[in-house]
Amino acid sequence: MYELCYWIMSIGNQKRIGAYLPFKNFKTTKEAMQKLLSEAKKIGVKITEYDADKLSKGYGDDICRFLDDILNRELIRRDYKFFNPVIPPDIESDEESEINSGEVSTFSTANPLPVLKEEPEGVT
């Protein structure tokens, strides 16, 4: 989690944040999170909203909010715009058209053997 957050914060902010220290260089996870929070403060994150102990867990609401915050800051910095999706008209696949037309498929994905429509002659 430390590496991901630090990488996101460093995009376009190399001059504002300090040199990257690998996670393995820290004695404790809490120490790494404190470094991460001090670097986050340099790019404008309100670090009073986050606790190093909670971030050091690596999961939960606090991590999600922190990631969301730094990602939003990067998107705003890039002037990224979200647009409504363009949904194409429905196009039936071959499988859907067979089902709708009443035809029986001779092969099934669940059963790789062919499905016989009629019993062969002489079988009782």
- 25-53 tens-digit pLDDT: 888 888 888 888 888 888 888 877 888 88
How many domains is the chain partitioned into structurally? 1
| DSSP codes of every residue in 94-119 | HHHHHHHHTPPPS--SS--SPPPSSP
Residue 103 placed within a domain: no
pLDDT score of 121 more than 70: no
Q: What confidence tens digit (pLDDT) does each residue in 60-71 have?
A: 888 899 899 988
Sign of the CA dihedral with 21 first, then 22, 28, and 32 last: positive
Quick: pLDDT tens for 105-114. Answer: 554 455 455 5
- Contact (CB, 8 A) for 23 and 32: yes
List the domain range (segments joined by +) for residue 26. Answer: 2-77
Whether 97 is in a domain gets the answer: no
| Structural domain contains residue 91 | no
In a domain, 111, yes or no: no
Any domain includes 72: yes
Closest CA to 40 of 59, 68, 60: 68
Q: What is the pLDDT of residue 100?
A: 58
Q: Is residue 22 part of a domain?
A: yes
Residue 60 lies in a domain: yes
86 domain-assigned? no
